[in-house]
Amino acid sequence: MKATSVGEGAVLFQLAEVADERTHAAICALDEAIAAADIKGVVEVVPALINLLVAFDPIQTDHGAVTAAVQALKPDVAASRTPQVHRVPVCYDPELCPDLLEVARLTNQSVEAVIAAHLGSEMRVEMYGFSPGYAYLRGLPQSIHLPRKPAAVRDIPKGSIIISGAQSLITTLTMPTGWWVIGRSGFDVIESDAPDPFVFKVGDRVVYERISRAELGV
């Protein structure tokens, strides 16, 4: 596990060179081990695809102490918490999914086949990034993998279901994106009044369920 000091108050721990399921499990286990250890001065832990950032209060501790404390831990992947499964309703109405037809064309299949592939996937929450509540979910079947668009499109509405490569996300605000918009959901990834506002935890699973536009209420 490679440790790199970041600024005055963080250490980045790299666990692998490639993001895969084994690395993801190891990062989740280390995240839980750090939380359980209650290391002096640590204020936040941010897991990512191949690494994990540990932020600390430099008044209470330093890079060396945090590095030593984390490297002394013995995370147990087998004992990690059971991931919660979140069921996310998705509407695939063409008027709300501007890229659905193009995704079908580019992947040489019908719109219903694209929808079925999306619904049949079980996604895992790999990390948060880019925007508040922007949870990167991995697990799309190969049949609907596409690279990003050549250019981003502005004003993609909140709640849009977007895909690129093996990943799918739920947008949490109106924003530009170069990912493909294939659905819309009313699911809120952020609960603003909760002590921990992010509904998804890294390691959780997400399953999509189809709903009508009337059920979505748009």
Higher pLDDT, 197 or 69: 69
Residue 141 has what pLDDT? 95
The tens digit of pLDDT for each residue in 85-121 reads 999 999 999 999 999 999 999 999 999 999 999 999 9
**For residue 78, pLDDT beyond 80:** no
Residue 192 has what pLDDT? 74
**For residue 155, pLDDT beyond 80:** yes
CATH topology of domain 2-79: Gyrase A; domain 2 (3.30.1360)
Homologous superfamily (CATH) of 85-216 is: Cyclophilin-like (2.40.100.10)
Q: How many CB atoms lie within 10 A of CB 200?
A: 24
Q: Which amino acid is at 179?
A: W
Residue 196 has what pLDDT? 76
Least confident interval from 52-66, 78-92, 199-213: 78-92
Cβ pair 177, 162 in contact under 8 A: yes
Average pLDDT rounded to a whole number, residues 14-22: 90
Integer Cα distance of 125 and 200 in angstroms: 7
Residue 129 has what pLDDT? 83
Mean pLDDT, the chain, whole residue set: 93
**For residue 160, pLDDT beyond 90:** yes
Of the pLDDT bands very low, low, confident and very high (cuts 50, 70, 90), residue 77 is confident
The ranges assigned to domains in the chain are 2-79, 85-216
